């Protein structure tokens, strides 16, 4: 009969675990199959001071081409740096100064802050043609140091490069290996600097409508995505880790039960 006293103890422990089980795990819970949902208008990356980009100009005449492209300068420890015009090894980039300008070969100072990649390419091409430097230039622009940070309950926290113009919240989370099972999906935080101040946005990944229409659905350079832990995960980080999901808790319970069993058996 005394063994029956152990049942409430075990039931209480199981109940505590079940109450801590996260319910909001599935994405897009409010999205019916086959029903179209409005998406936030595309928001392409616009360049800012200190952004670094690569600008490559190609013409039919290799000599003219070489005038408008920075040489690549590989630097290795213990060896001298040698400039080369071989683009197979890479190419140097342009970093926008505090005023949003770059110093472009032959053309001089160009103000490109606030422009999109395609706008920079068109602007450089127009300058080359208008100054009669070339008529058949093909200009391509690529991001070099633009990135976002992804922290918290994701598989691979870190800083990830922006690889295309319309870089979404899903792109960032996918790069970080997706949310862990212990992530708080209805409270993903995005911090963004706007007008010199940090602004916080909270996104519920369980709601397709909220995600797709969020101002931070399309990320910008230097955005920080932080995924909060759910309640179960938060309880695991108590001061001594002695909670219902910790090893120490269950060791203590097992030890206590063993003591009770031995005590009752000896009776």
Instruction: Indicate whether 224 and 240 sit together in one domain.
Output: no
Instruction: Indicate whether 118 and 64 sit together in one domain.
Output: yes
Q: Can you give the residue range of the structural domain that contains 246?
A: 2-21+234-266
Among 25-34, 77-86, 89-98, 176-185, which range has the highest average pLDDT? 176-185
In angstroms, the CA 244 to CA 253 distance is 10
- Position with higher pLDDT, 246 vs 227: 227
Is 26 inside a domain boundary? no
% of the chain with per-residue pLDDT over 90:
49
Question: Interhelix angle for 247-266 vs 6-19, to 10°?
Answer: 170
Choice among 88-102, 183-197, 246-260 with the minimum mean pLDDT: 246-260
In angstroms, the CA 187 to CA 206 distance is 9
Is 69 inside a domain boundary? yes
Beta carbons of 75 and 90 less than 8 angstroms apart: no
In sequence order, the β-bridge partners of residue 60 are: none
Instruction: Indicate whether 106 and 132 sit together in one domain.
Output: yes
* Residue 1, pLDDT above cutoff 60: no
20 pLDDT tier (thresholds 50, 70, 90) = very low
Is 71 inside a domain boundary? yes
* Residue after which a domain boundary falls, among 111, 143, 175: 143
Instruction: Indicate whether 154 and 195 sit together in one domain.
Output: yes
Is 47 inside a domain boundary? no
Instruction: Indicate whether 201 and 244 sit together in one domain.
Output: no
Instruction: Indicate whether 138 and 151 sit together in one domain.
Output: no
Is 127 inside a domain boundary? yes
What's the pLDDT tens digit per position in 62-85? 888 888 888 765 544 443 333 333
249 pLDDT tier (thresholds 50, 70, 90) = low
30 pLDDT tier (thresholds 50, 70, 90) = confident
* Residue 23, pLDDT above cutoff 90: no
Could you tell me where the DSSP H helices lie in the chain? 6-19, 62-67, 117-130, 169-175, 208-212, 231-236, 247-266
In sequence order, the β-bridge partners of residue 141 are: 55
Is 61 inside a domain boundary? yes
Instruction: Indicate whether 62 and 130 sit together in one domain.
Output: yes
Instruction: Indicate whether 185 and 252 sit together in one domain.
Output: no
What is the total count of domains within the chain? 3
- Position with higher pLDDT, 170 vs 232: 170
Where residue 119 sits, what CATH number does that domain have? 3.30.1950.10
In angstroms, the CA 146 to CA 120 distance is 16
pLDDT of residue 171: 95
Instruction: Indicate whether 193 and 218 sit together in one domain.
Output: yes
- Position with higher pLDDT, 61 vs 98: 98
pLDDT of residue 39: 80
Residue 42's Cβ-count burial label (10 Å; 0-12, 13-18, 19+) is: exposed
Is 106 inside a domain boundary? yes
Is 136 inside a domain boundary? yes
Instruction: Indicate whether 109 and 133 sit together in one domain.
Output: yes
- Write the DSSP string, 30-75: T--TT-----PPP------TT-EEEEEEE-SSHHHHHHTSPPB---
Where residue 180 sits, what CATH number does that domain have? 3.10.560.10
Mean pLDDT of the chain: 80
State residue 142 phi and psi, 5-degree precision: -130, 145
Instruction: Indicate whether 125 and 194 sit together in one domain.
Output: no
* Residue 11, pLDDT above cutoff 70: no
Interacting residues of 38 by C-beta distance below 8 A, sequence separation 6+: 209, 212, 213
* Residue 24, pLDDT above cutoff 60: yes
Beta carbons of 62 and 20 less than 8 angstroms apart: no
* Statement: the pTM of the whole predicted model exceeds 0.75: no
pLDDT of residue 117: 94
In angstroms, the CA 242 to CA 17 distance is 13
Instruction: Indicate whether 92 and 137 sit together in one domain.
Output: yes
* Residue after which a domain boundary falls, among 76, 108, 143: 143
């Amino acid at each position: 009969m005394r063994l029956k006293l152990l049942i409430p103890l075990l039931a209480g422990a199981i109940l505590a675990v079940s109450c801590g089980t996260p319910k909001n795990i599935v994405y897009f819970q409010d999205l019916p199959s086959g029903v179209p949902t409005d998406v936030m208008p595309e928001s392409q990356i616009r360049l800012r001071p200190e952004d670094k980009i690569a600008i490559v100009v190609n013409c039919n005449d290799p000599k003219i081409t070489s005038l408008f492209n920075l040489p690549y300068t590989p630097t290795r420890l213990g060896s001298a740096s040698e400039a080369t015009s071989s683009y197979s090894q890479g190419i140097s980039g342009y970093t926008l100064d505090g005023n949003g300008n770059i110093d472009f070969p032959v053309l001089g100072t160009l103000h490109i802050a606030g422009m999109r990649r395609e706008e920079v390419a068109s602007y450089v091409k127009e300058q080359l043609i208008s100054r009669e430097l070339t008529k058949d230039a093909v200009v391509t622009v690529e991001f070099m140091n633009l990135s976002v940070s992804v922290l918290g309950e994701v598989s691979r926290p870190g800083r990830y490069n922006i690889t295309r113009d319309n870089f979404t919240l899903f792109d960032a989370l996918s790069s970080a290996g997706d949310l862990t099972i212990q992530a708080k999906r209805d409270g993903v935080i995005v911090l963004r600097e706007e007008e010199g101040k940090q602004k916080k946005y909270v996104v519920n990944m369980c709601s397709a409508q909220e995600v797709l229409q969020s101002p931070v659905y399309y990320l910008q350079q230097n955005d920080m995505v932080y995924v909060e832990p759910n309640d179960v995960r938060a309880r695991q980080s108590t001061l001594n880790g002695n909670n219902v999901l910790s090893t120490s808790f269950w060791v203590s319970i097992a030890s206590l039960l063993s003591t009770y069993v031995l005590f009752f058996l000896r009776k």
